[in-house]
Structure 1
Amino acid sequence: MNSVIEIFKEITSIARCSGTHEPFIKFIKNYCNKYGYECLIDDYNNILCKKKESKAKICLQNHYDIVCLKDNCIPQIIEEDGFFKAKDSTLGADNGIGCSYMLWLMSLDYDCEFLFTSDEEIGLIGANNLEHKLKAEYMLNIDSEQEGEICIGCAGGVDIFAKNRSKKIVENKEDYELYEVSISNLPGGHSGVEIHKNIPNAIKLIAALIKENGGLLLDINGGERINSIPANVKAIAAFKTYPQEISYKNVCISKINTKSEHLNIWSSDITDFIYTFANGVRAYDVDLQVVLNSINLAKISTNIDEITIELSARSMANEELEKIKKETRVLLEHFGFEVETSGKYQAWKPDVNDFTNNVLNIYKKYDKDASLEAIHAGLECAIFKNMFPHMKIASIGPTINSPHSNAERVEIASVNKLAKIVKEIVDSI
């Protein structure tokens, strides 16, 4: 019998970047043949494994894709100081570890529904389009990243895309000079679970520099991902005098030695919107110690005839999410933008029930400080709760640090402890 650790090492050698499905599907088909499970694949590459005459009461669920910062990356595992990490890449513990618990239980012949979903990291695509019908009464998701925390609720989210085409050529009567302005290597971070940490937003900072120095905007590009706080931005702007730097590090201002009789500029409404936009936390629950509502200005880009802005809004309540979406649309339209929204996923309202209490009681045998939590980020659990209202759901996981980055690492002792917890939870059902 393989351990969870041994299985994790095996599947880490399989190509699983988001959008890559066949290698892992082939592996699972062979695995099911070996241990006597049916292997069902839907049109969105979601994999459901179960016994032929299954009477499963619990479904274990995880996504099998990983974030790859390099194309076609297969992580090379390194063990160091009680952790696994990867050589110059993401590790894929998010969520290879979760999948490994499921494969381990399959090797032990458990009668469960085992659901491996596709492409979670690029928009929860598999979960949103799931075609398999689940019959289990309970679901245990193993995609949380902090030992001791049992997630029983999460935020819903919506992505907002805005375009502005208000470019014009003006005569340079006031002797404006051109400058390249950049802000780089800010901390960045997850725009859900880290939005309350007051991490500086590079796009907001550069708009303040341009606005407070009376600048005119010619070009701007910044931000990395729609679900992260922007760490880098670069702009071309025109100023009458050398601009005064904002009171923050990592700002670089370089004069462009070109004098122009005409300037091809964007409307000041764009800078005004970014400058005045209330970015970050909008509401906070002190008792639960969780952000209720937030919005992050994540990306901005310029092409020949338009500027595009991407924002990500989140809320722990679906009605509040709809309110933020509508208010932001009206505000953007007021500043001359055309607006579209997409990628909406439901909130998972925190729910304490017999299943979550059972998970908590079992967990406390191994960690007296274990607690029920809600997080300000999207989880597949919310989608499944909406699809299968009868299900009672909880999410747990071992300690994974810095997922989605080359610094990602998973604590080995935490993986082994959670294996005992997962097995006891399933045994109790």
Structure 2
Amino acid sequence: MISVIEIFKEITAIPRCSGTYEPFINYIKDFASKNDYDCYVDNYHNILCKKSNSKAKLSIQNHYDIVCLKENCIPTIIEEDGFLKAKESTLGADNGIGCSYMLWLMTQGYDCEFLFTSDEEIGLIGANNLEHQLNADYMLNIDSEQEGEICIGCAGGVDIFGKSSFKSIIENEENYKLYEVEISNLPGGHSGVDIHKNVPNGIKLIGELIVENNALLLDINGGERINSIPVNVKAIIACKHKPKEIPHDNIRIRKIATKSEHLNVWDRNIATFIYTFANGVRAYDEKLGVVLNSINLAKITTKIDAIEVELSARSMDNDELKKLKKETTVLLKSFGFDVTTNGKYSAWRPDINEFTNRVLDIYKKYDEDASLEAIHAGLECAIFKKKFPHMKLASIGPNIFNPHSNREKVEIASIEKLSKIVKEIVDSF
């Protein structure tokens, strides 16, 4: 029988960056046909596989898109020190591993509703617009990233976008010199589960350098995805002296030989906002050991007529999320930005029930320290709970480290251990 790992290696060769659908859909259609499942695809590229005349009590769900820090990336898998990694890219274990468990179960003919959702990484688009009807009373999501933790709740999230068009052309009477400032190869990470780890934010570091050197901003671009901590940032600045470096190893400053009589500069409020913005954890529950509220300054882009910033806010409480959204909107406007928001998903309030207890009891056979937890990241479970109020949900997964970054890796032993747990959960139905 083919293993979960073998399936994962196979589907990793299929293009699955967010916004790419047909290659994986065609693969699933063929796979379903070979294993005697009906396959349905809705208008939002969500895929549902189930048996004809299914009487499934359990839905199993995962998203099939992956974060690609480079466009059209297909990860090259490296096996090293008990882990699967990728060569100079994200791995896509988030959530190719979850999909691999589903396909593995399909090879064994289980009567479940197997739901593969699209575009989770760019706003949970597939889940939010799901057109398929699910009839099962229980859902197992395999998109968690910490072995031993059974997720029964998650943070809600909202994306916030700022746009500033304030720039001016000034005479270079004070003999400003031009410099290219670049920050690269920072650790990066997931803007939810890694936000409390003091991972350096490249945009914040650039803002610090600009303000502390009293420099002018001419151009800036940085950040990879709205749900990632920015790794690479580059800016063109004007300064009366060679900029003093801030204490960080990943900063490079290069003088530009061109001498300009006029400078096309952006409003100082932009750099001031970056520098002063309280990025990261906003509230933390010491007793539960969980981040309650956070916000990540994820991307900044210079367009022809504007500089645009993108931020991702998260909260374990819907009222707190609204408050964080409102405060950030007001703050951005005070610095001269026009603001829009995109409400992605609500928080999933923790719920202990007969299904979560069943999953916990099975898990404890393999790990006596297994526990019910809530995580500071978005899971599609929050959307499905709202769409299907009758459903009982839980989320599990193997050890995946540093998702959404080039350091992403998944533990092989953890994948194999979870295979036994997943199979026993499904067998219990």
Distance change (3 Å), C-alpha of 1:20 and 1:335: closer
Distance, in Å, in 2 between the alignment partners of 1:242 and 1:76 is 41
Distance, in Å, in 1 between the alignment partners of 2:31 and 2:343 is 33
Q: Aligned AA for 1:174?
A: E
Distance, in Å, in 1 between the alignment partners of 2:348 and 2:92 is 25
Distance change (3 Å), C-alpha of 1:337 and 1:88: closer
Confirm whether residue 271 of structure 1 aligns to residue 266 of structure 2: no
Distance, in Å, in 2 between the alignment partners of 1:104 and 1:32 is 11
Distance, in Å, in 2 between the alignment partners of 1:355 and 1:180 is 56
Mapped contact 2:171–2:261 kept (Cα < 8 A) = yes
Q: Aligned AA for 1:168?
A: S
Q: Aligned AA for 1:148?
A: G
Distance change (3 Å), C-alpha of 1:387 and 1:302: same
Distance change (3 Å), C-alpha of 1:422 and 1:226: same
Confirm whether residue 422 of structure 1 aligns to residue 422 of structure 2: yes
CA displacement, residues 325-383 of structure 1 (integer Å, 9 cap, x when unaligned): 11111111111111111252221122222211211111011011111121111111111
Distance change (3 Å), C-alpha of 1:22 and 1:390: same
Distance change (3 Å), C-alpha of 1:262 and 1:408: closer
Distance change (3 Å), C-alpha of 1:25 and 1:224: closer
Matched residue, 1:54: 54
SS across alignment from 2:328? helix
Distance change (3 Å), C-alpha of 1:148 and 1:267: same
Matched residue, 1:332: 332
Give the deviation of 1:86 after TM superposition: 4.3
Distance change (3 Å), C-alpha of 1:386 and 1:336: same
SS across alignment from 2:326? helix
Confirm whether residue 254 of structure 1 aligns to residue 264 of structure 2: no
User: How many aligned residue pairs are there?
Assistant: 429
Distance, in Å, in 2 between the alignment partners of 1:377 and 1:135 is 27
| 319-328 or 404-413: bigger deviation | 404-413
Q: Aligned AA for 2:321?
A: L
Give the deviation of 1:396 after TM superposition: 0.6
Matched residue, 1:149: 149
Confirm whether residue 107 of structure 1 aligns to residue 121 of structure 2: no
Summarize the alignment of residues 312-327 of structure 1 with structure 2, pairs less than 5 Å apart: 312-327=312-327
TM-score, length of structure 1 as denominator length: 0.92
Matched residue, 2:369: 369
Mapped contact 2:225–2:298 kept (Cα < 8 A) = yes
Distance change (3 Å), C-alpha of 1:147 and 1:389: same
Distance, in Å, in 2 between the alignment partners of 1:192 and 1:256 is 37
Structure 1 unaligned segments of length 5 or more: list them: none
Q: Aligned AA for 2:183?
A: I
| 114-123 or 29-38: bigger deviation | 29-38
Give the deviation of 1:414 after TM superposition: 1.8
Distance change (3 Å), C-alpha of 1:398 and 1:132: same
CA displacement, residues 36-95 of structure 1 (integer Å, 9 cap, x when unaligned): 322221111211122222222111111223334555554454444433344555443332
CA displacement, residues 236-284 of structure 1 (integer Å, 9 cap, x when unaligned): 2222333332233333333334444433221121122112211111111
| 120-129 or 357-366: bigger deviation | 120-129
Summarize the alignment of residues 153-168 of structure 1 with structure 2, pairs less than 5 Å apart: 153-168=153-168
Distance, in Å, in 1 between the alignment partners of 2:293 and 2:183 is 27
Matched residue, 2:285: 285
Mapped contact 2:124–2:344 kept (Cα < 8 A) = no
Mapped contact 2:189–2:402 kept (Cα < 8 A) = no
Q: Aligned AA for 2:412?
A: I
Confirm whether residue 360 of structure 1 aligns to residue 360 of structure 2: yes
Mapped contact 2:228–2:405 kept (Cα < 8 A) = no
Distance, in Å, in 2 between the alignment partners of 1:120 and 1:26 is 19
| 327-336 or 46-55: bigger deviation | 46-55
Distance change (3 Å), C-alpha of 1:256 and 1:91: closer
Q: Aligned AA for 1:355?
A: F
Matched residue, 2:186: 186
CA displacement, residues 376-406 of structure 1 (integer Å, 9 cap, x when unaligned): 1111111111211221111111222343445
Matched residue, 1:3: 3
Matched residue, 1:234: 234
Identity %: 75
Mapped contact 2:189–2:404 kept (Cα < 8 A) = no
Distance change (3 Å), C-alpha of 1:395 and 1:44: same
RMSD: 2.2
| 263-272 or 150-159: bigger deviation | 263-272
Q: Aligned AA for 1:291?
A: V
